[in-house]
Chain A
Amino acid sequence: MSAKVERYHSKKFKEISSKTLIYILLVIISIIWLIPFVYLVFQSFAQSYSPSNFIPAAWTFDNYINLFTDISYPFGRWYLNTLLIAIITAILQTVFTLMTAYAFSRLRFRSRQAYMKFILVIGMFPSFLGMIVTYFLLQMIGLSASIFGLIVIYVAGSGMGYYVAKGFFDTIPKSLDEAAMIDGANKNTVFWKVILPLAKPIVVYTVLMSFTAPWGDYMMASYIAQGKQELFNVAVGLQQMMTKGNDIKYFPQFCAGGVFVSIGIMALFFWLQKYYVEGVTGGAVKG
C-alpha cells in the first residue's frame, strides 16, 4: 500500500517538475522572441541612438513625424508604393493562382502531368537569374520605370505558386462537382459557385500570402528600382536608410518606419490567423 502511495507521489512530483521546466523554458523563449520587438518599439521613440541604452534616455515622437517629412528618405512614398503594389498583386495573383490550381486539380486534359512537371522544373531555377531579360522586356512595354513593372513580375509568376491551393482543392470531394454537373452546371459555374465558396480558407490564405510578399521583397524590387528613390518599396527604402555611415543617425527613424510597416501587416495577420494556420498546415502535408 505504502509503496503504491509513494509511486503515486513520485509520479505527481515528476509531472509537476516537468511542467515547471516547460513553463520556465516557455518564458525564456517568449523573452528571446519578444526582446527585438520591444527594442524596436523603444528605439522608435528615442531622441538619438546610443548603443548602450536598451531603453532610450530621452523620448520623443519626432521620428514618426520625420518619417513623413524627411525629403532625403521619402518613407511616405515608399509606403504608398508598397501598398499599391501589394493590393493589386494580391487581387490578380490570387485569381490566377486559384485558376491554375483548379485546372490542375479538377480538370483532366492531355499533358496535364507534363505541364505540372514543367512548372516544377523551371521553378528550380533561381527566379533572380533572368532579371536582366525581364527588365528589358519591361522596358519594351514601357513599365521599367514604374512600380507597375514590379506588379507585372509578381503577377506573371503566379501560375507557379499553385501547390498549396491545389492540395486544398484535391481534398474537396469530386462528387460535389459531379452532382452540380448533373444539375446542369458547366465547369465555369462549378468553379465559381461550388468550389470557391468551399475553398474560403485557401482563398484567404492566398490573398494574405500574395499581399504580404511584396512588403518583404528586396531582391526584385531593388533591381527594378535601379537606385531611383521614388520607385523603392519599404524594404529597399529602409535598407538604404541603414547603409553605412547613415545607420547611427537614422536608426531611430528606421525603427519608427519598421513599427509603422509592421503594425499594418500584424493587424491583418492576427485578424486572418485562422486561415493562415490552415494554409500552413495543409500546405505542409500535401506539399
Chain B
Amino acid sequence: MSNLEYYSLSRPKRFFYKLGSFFVNIPLGIGRFFKKLPNKLVNFFKKFFTPLVNIWSWFSKGDFLTRLSFVVMGSGQIARHQIIRGVLNLLYEIVAIIFIILVGVPSFTKLPSFGYISSIQYETNTPPFVGYMYQDDSFKILLYSVVSLIVILILAFLWYTNIRDAYELQRTKEIGRKTSDLQTVKGLVGKDYHKVMLSIPTLGIAIFTVIPLIFMVLVAFTNFNSNHMNPKELFDWVGLGNFSQLLGLTGTNNGNQFAMVFLQILIWTLIWAFFATFTNYFLGMIVAIMINKKGIKLKKMWRTILITTIAVPQFVSLLLMSKMLNTDTGVVNAILKNAGLITENIRFLTDGLLVKVTIILVNMWIGIPYTMLMCTGILMNIPDDLYESAKIDGASPYKMYMKITLPYMLFVTTPYLISQFVGNINNFNVIYLLSSGGPIFSSVNGEIITAQVFGAGQSDLLITWLYKMSMGEVFKDYGAASVIGIVVFVIVAFFSLIFYGRSNSVKNEEDFQ
C-alpha cells in the first residue's frame, strides 16, 4: 500500500491497517533477522579475529625489538627513543604482574568457595573473653577478584597497543624518519588529545562505578546478607537463588509472599513513572501555553512564581509537604477540619491508595515548573505562520493545539520524555522524603506477611526498596538488593532501547552538526 492509499483511509481503518501490518511484520522481521544472521556472525568473527591476525603479522614481520616488546612491554619504544611511552608501559606491566601474583591469584583461587575459614575464636583474659582472628573475608575476595580482572583486561589492552606501537615505530625507522619523545608530547595536544581529556573522568568511572557494578552484579548470585556478613561470616554462591525468590519459585509460602510484594512494587513503580512523567508533561505544557499566550500580562511574574519551586531545594519542600499532609499533626487536615469540610482526618500519606494519589499530586507541584520552563523555550520556536494559516482556515484553539503544538512538542522533546521516565523510575527523593515508602505492607492476598520483605511499603518504588534492603537496621540483604538493581536496569534499558532507537537526534548524531 502506498502512502497515498494509506492516507485516503478513514481513521479507524488506518488503525486496523497498522495493527494488521504489525502482526504481518513479525514473521517478516524474524525472517529478515535470520537472513542477516550469517552476515552478522561473519562480521562478529572478523572483529574477534582481526586482533589475532594483526598480532601474528606484527610478530612475523617484526624485528628483534618488536618481538621483544611481546615479552618486555615498552622495550621497542625505549630502544627507539620514545622513552616516556616505553617506561610507562613497562611500569604498568611490572606493577600489574606483581599485583596479580600477590592479590589476584590468591583471590581467584578462593573465589569458587569464597574462602575457607572466616575467623578463629580464641580466649582472652579481659572481657568479653573471646577474640576473633579474621582469616578469609568473602567481601575482599570478591572485590579483589574483580579488581584483578580489570587489571588483567587493561594489561591485555595495553599489551596489544604496545605491540602495535612497537611495530609502527619499526616501520617509521625503516623509512628513515626520526622518532622521539617529542612526538608523544605533541600527540597529547593533537591526535591523542582525547586521552588527556578522558583520562581522569574514565578513572573515576572505572573505580567508583564500574568496579562496584561488576561486584554487585556478582553479589546477585550470592547469599551476602546479615546472616553472612563479613568479616565474621563467609558468604557463598547460591546460583539463581535470589532470582527465584523474586519470582516466587523457592517453593515455600514465604517465598511466594516476597514475590507478591515485589510484583506490587514493580507495578506501582511503572504506574508511578508513567503518571509522574505524563501529568507533568502535559500540564506543564498547558501552563506554558497559558503564560505565553499573546496579550497575557505579567508573563515574567507568573514564570518567576513557578520557578521558585525549582530554586528551593527539593528536600526542603518535600519534607515540608510531608509534614503539612501529616494525618494527625498536619496543617491541611487541621484547617479543613476547622472549616468544617471534613469530620475525620484524611490519611494523605498513610492510606494505601490515597498515598499514591498524594505523591503524584505533590510530584506535579514539583515537576510542572520544569516542564513549563522547557516548553516556554520551545514554544517560542514554533513558527507563527503555522498558527496564522490555521486560524484563517477556521481552526479552533483546541484543534490548533492537537494538530500543531502537540506534534511539534512531541517531536522535539522525545529525548526529554524518556529521560524523565527513566529518572522517575529512579526517583528516590520524592517517595522517600514524602512517605518513606509507607504505609507498610501488612498482608498480601489476605495473608499476614511472615516473609522478610525489608519494610516494603505500598508507595515504595524499586529504588527505595533497594535502599531499605541495603540500609535495613534489622536485616540487610545485599544479594536481594542486587537483584532489584538488575531488575531496575532491565526496565530502564528496555524503555530506553525502544525510544532511543526511534529518536532522530540519537541516530543522526553527525548530521546534526
- Is there a chain B Cβ closer than 8 Å to A230's Cβ? no
Residues of A near B308 (CB, < 8 A) are: 33-34, 37, 266
Task: Report if B72 contacts A (CB, 8 A).
Answer: no
**Chain B residues with CB below 8 A from A232, complex form:** none
Kindly count the residue-residue contacts between A and B in the assembled complex, taking CB atoms under 8 Å apart: 276
* A156 contacts chain B at the CB level, 8 A cutoff: yes
CA distance A128 to B470 in the complex (A): 9
A266 touches B208 (CB 8 A): no
Q: CB of A99 within 8 A of chain B? A: yes
Interface of A is mostly: helix
- Contact assessment for B208 and A248 in the assembled complex, using a CB-CB cutoff below 8 Å: no
Partner of B377, one of A29, A37, A132, A281: A281
Contact of A52 among B200, B335, B422 (CB under 8 A): B335
Q: Is the interface of B mostly helix, strand, loop or mixed?
A: helix
Asked if A32 and B329 sit within 8 Å, CB to CB, the answer is no
B87 at the interface (CB under 8 A from A): no
Contact partner, B213, options A23, A40, A122, Cβ 8 Å: A122
Bound complex: CA of A174 vs CA of B510, how far in Å?
Answer: 11
Residues of A within 8 A of B (CB-CB), count: 99
**A158 beta carbon closer than 8 Å to chain B:** yes
Cross-interface CB contact of B296 among A19, A40, A49, A219, cutoff 8 Å: A19
Report the bound CA distance from A128 to B139 in whole Å: 18
Does B143 belong to the interface (CB within 8 Å)? yes
> When the two chains form their complex, are residues A107 and B428 in contact, meaning their CB atoms are under 8 A apart?
no
Indicate whether B450 reaches chain A with its CB closer than 8 angstroms: no
Measured in the bound complex, the distance between the Cα atoms of B191 and A107 in whole Å is 9
Q: Are B204 and A254 in contact (CB under 8 A)?
A: no
Contact A287 B506 (CB under 8 A): yes
| B residues in contact with A156, CB < 8 Å | 204-205, 207-209
User: B316 and A262: CB pair below 8 A?
Assistant: yes
Is A198 at the interface (CB under 8 A from chain B)?
Answer: no
CA distance A121 to B513 in the complex (A): 24
B470 touches A277 (CB 8 A): no
Is B212 a contact of A129 with CB atoms below 8 Å?
yes
Question: Given A96-B204, A126-B488, A159-B202, does the pair A132, B316 have CB atoms closer than 8 Å?
Answer: no
A157-B305 in contact (CB<8A): no
- A109-B194, A134-B208 known; A126 and B374 CB under 8 Å? no
Q: Using CB atoms and an 8 Å cutoff, list the residues of chain B in contact with chain A.
A: 139, 143, 189-190, 193-194, 196-198, 200-202, 204-205, 207-213, 215-216, 287, 290-291, 293, 295-296, 302, 304-317, 319-321, 323-324, 326, 329-331, 333-335, 337-338, 365, 369-370, 373-374, 376-378, 397, 412-416, 418-419, 422, 426, 428-429, 432-433, 463, 466-467, 470-471, 478, 481-482, 485, 488-489, 492-493, 496, 503, 505-506, 509, 512-513
A interface residues with partner B (beta carbon < 8 Å): 15, 18-19, 22-23, 25-26, 29-30, 32-34, 36-37, 39-40, 49, 51-54, 96-97, 99-100, 102-103, 107, 109, 112, 115, 119-122, 124-134, 136-137, 152-153, 155-160, 170-171, 174, 186-189, 191, 212, 215-216, 218-219, 222-223, 234-235, 238-239, 242, 247-248, 251, 254-255, 258, 261-262, 265-266, 269-270, 273, 276-278, 280-281, 283-287
- List the 5 closest A-B pairs by CB distance, nearest first: A130-B212, A287-B415, A159-B201, A281-B377, A156-B204
